[in-house]
Amino acid sequence: MDPFWDYWYFHLPNYLLAALLYTLVGRFILSLFVPVDWPNYIWRNFCRLTDPVLAAVGFITPRMIGHLVLLLIAAYWMLVLRVIFTTVMHNLGATPALAGS
């Protein structure tokens, strides 16, 4: 039995939230060194993946917040969503057991 497929409904959303979180952090770090309109394909994909998240977070965040700070706020919200998701799934008994338990 493969534990990944037994709990796919936990692993896939958790992986998606983690990927968005780390892509936002990566975009923040790259933003410190590269221009906003940099034509590099990695940068364009970072922007393409994170722009919907930034739009959603920007909708509830005051407009006076700068773009770099908005990236950090969005990463924070992805972390919060990931913790909430894991907690809810654990309370429902829908997470895999730890190796030692």
Q: pLDDT tens, position by position, for the chain (101 residues)? A: 667 788 899 999 999 999 999 999 999 999 999 998 999 999 999 999 999 999 999 999 998 999 999 999 999 999 999 999 999 999 998 888 765 55
Q: What is the pLDDT of residue 98?
A: 66
Distance CA 48, CA 37 (A): 12
Distance CA 5, CA 10 (A): 10
Q: How many C-beta atoms surround the C-beta of residue 57 within 10 A?
A: 20
Closest CA to 76 of 34, 17, 36, 1: 17
Q: What is the pLDDT of residue 99?
A: 55
So where are the chain's domains?
Answer: 3-91
